[in-house]
Structure 1
Amino acid sequence: MSQQPLHAAPLSWGHGPRTFEIFIEPTCPFSVRAFNKLEALLEAVGEENVTVKIRLQSQPWHLFSGVIVRCVLAASTLPDGKNAAHKVLRAVAEHREEFEFTDHCSGPNMDATPQQIIERIENYSGVQLVDAFARPELQTEIKWHCKYARQNGIHVSPTFMVNGLVQADLGSGDEISVWAQHILA
């Protein structure tokens, strides 16, 4: 029996004409801070005014980054695609220390396996990822996120783009009103 073709739901919310793209690494503390502001940003600007798109920016110094990014994108291929991916991102954000190494190189996660990381994400998010994670064609989606970031000169997270232009002066510590000003300008 053959599997259905893989389709990853776009990680986008809102439906407005302006675009706010955020490049995040799920275990990066600054990305987590930015991710946690996205719902409030949509509320402040209005879903009819902006489309918020999450782009994943895997970073090698976050040692489980590739596994976790693959989990997020695997979730996006499930029946409740973008909502499942959001649950995975939320679970990692709320339990970040359980997915990251101390000083990027030590600590309890030195003994963790990728399988244990997937199981932790499943337990915290309630999203079953094992089968979707194991689909080889998921690599196409992962590569797309990587290529898109590189084509736009994105190297670190979080990085922000408004209407296709990188906003080097925006950061995770900014108030939502600052982000809104850039979007609505």
Structure 2
Amino acid sequence: TFQDIPPSPHVPVRICLGRFTLVAVAALLSPAPWRCLHQSLFVAPRETPHSRDVSVARFGMPAAGPPLPSQPMGVPWSKAGGPVLVELFLDLCCPFSKRMLHTVAGGVAASFEGKVNFVFHSVVQPWHAQSSYMHEASLAVLKLHGPDAFWKYAVAVTERQDDFFDDEVFEKSRQQIYKDLAILAHEQGFDDKKIMARLQLAGLGNAGNAVTQHLKWAVKFHRVRGVHVTPTVFVNGLEAGIVSSDWNADEWAAFLDWHVNKTTPGIPETWLVQGE
């Protein structure tokens, strides 16, 4: 939008370029055009009482751009945390993510509780449309039942992953897939009716549902981190390309022991280079 610029015979043309205004100066014989240019390019628009009131009324917060999460992204395995951070970027519809998730959740995470902080990050792979619905259902479980329930449900969904592959859901509607996911949640002891309620459209048009914003944050987060392939693992903020979905519990333990204990017995040389 244009800024309010005092009338000047030296500024006959103003061109809007996004947030900034480029002032085309016809004459440069006085300092007035330079003041206008500086105001247009470098001085932020003033917040008015009206814009502030509208922002607070809509979002419950001052104007600050798109909505932001009020807590760190991802779902931790345990509240105990740990000095070593391992972030797992997983897709619930990906067979390789399933393999890694079941290994970590099947004993590795528990054996390193208090030492390693495992965090699950949802990665939707859009070429499988049902991937979005699977992650939406898992986020609904998270909102209703908490992190422990989320991990339990993620394991259960991936255990039945074949039921949600392309060839199985191609003729199903979005609502039918939601119902299948809610039934699976019910089998795990969760409230399927409340989960279904969270997955219903919130209004007309592209209103989304009760977990759409959380899903947007998850997608934005893995894009910012440069994650495309699933699974992808980060250790203490850096991508650990050496970690494989084929690893068994012993291989995970050897890798994590090095980082937790700062010792190296029996670890292959390539791992030492990676760790250093």
Q: TM-score band (shorter)?
A: 0.7 to 0.9
Shift of 1:181: 3.8
Structure with higher RCO (Cα < 8 A, 6+ apart): 1
SS of residue paired to 1:118 = helix
SS in 2 for 1:64: helix
Asked whether the equivalents of residues 63 and 100 of structure 1 are also in contact (C-alpha less than 8 Å), the reply is no
**Which of 52, 59, 75 is residue 11 of structure 1 equivalent to?**
75
Is 2:93–2:165's contact at 8 Å kept on the other side of the alignment?
yes
| Amino acid corresponding to residue 116 of structure 1 in structure 2 | Q
* Aligned counterparts, 1:142-157, within 5 A: 142-157=215-230
1:73 aligns to 2:136 (yes or no):
no
Alignment partner, residue 36 of structure 1: 102
- Assess, with a 3 A threshold, how the Cα gap between structure 1 residues 48 and 108 changes in structure 2: closer, same or farther: closer
Name the SS of the counterpart of 2:87 in structure 1.
strand
Work out which of the residue numbers 101, 112, 121 in structure 2 matches 1:55: 121
1:90 CA drift (Å): 2.2
* 2:246 matches 1:169: no
- Normalised by the size of structure 2, how large is the TM-score? 0.58
Partner of 1:110 in structure 2? 170
Of the candidates 197, 202, 207, which is equivalent to residue 131 of structure 1? 197
Instruction: Give the residue type in structure 1 aligned to 2:185.
Output: S
Preserved contact between residue 82 and residue 116 of structure 2 (Cα < 8 Å): yes
Larger radius of gyration: 2
State the shift of 1:37 in Å.
1.1
The answer on 1:94 being equivalent to 2:178 is no
Offset of residue 63 of structure 1: 2.7
Aligned match of 1:83: 148
Q: Give 1:48 deviation, angstroms.
A: 1.0
Runs of 4+ in 1 over 4 A off after TM superposition: 6-10
Question: Which whole-Å CA distance do the structure 2 matches of 1:120 and 1:91 have between them?
Answer: 12
Can you list the C-alpha shifts for 1:51-95, whole angstroms capped at 9, x where unaligned?
A: 1100000002223011111111111110x2223322331221111
Q: Mind listing any 5+ residue stretches in structure 2 that lack a counterpart? A: 1-68, 203-208, 260-276
1:56 partner amino acid? S
Contact 1:75–1:132 (CA<8 Å) still a contact in 2? no
Question: For structure 1, which segment, 67-76 or 121-130, has the greater mean C-alpha deviation from structure 2 after superposition?
Answer: 121-130
Q: Return 141-150 or 130-139, whichever deviates more.
A: 130-139
> How far did residue 148 of structure 1 move?
1.4
* Residues 21-30 or 112-121, more deviating: 112-121
Quick check: 1:88–1:121 contact (8 Å CA) kept in 2?
no
1:162 Cα deviation (Å)?
0.8
8 A contact 2:90–2:121 mirrored in 1? yes
**SS state of the match for residue 118, structure 2?**
strand
Q: How far is the alpha carbon of 1:139 from its aligned partner?
A: 2.1
Q: Establish whether residue 23 from structure 1 lines up as the match of residue 89 from structure 2.
A: yes
Alignment gaps of 5+ in structure 1:
1-5, 102-106
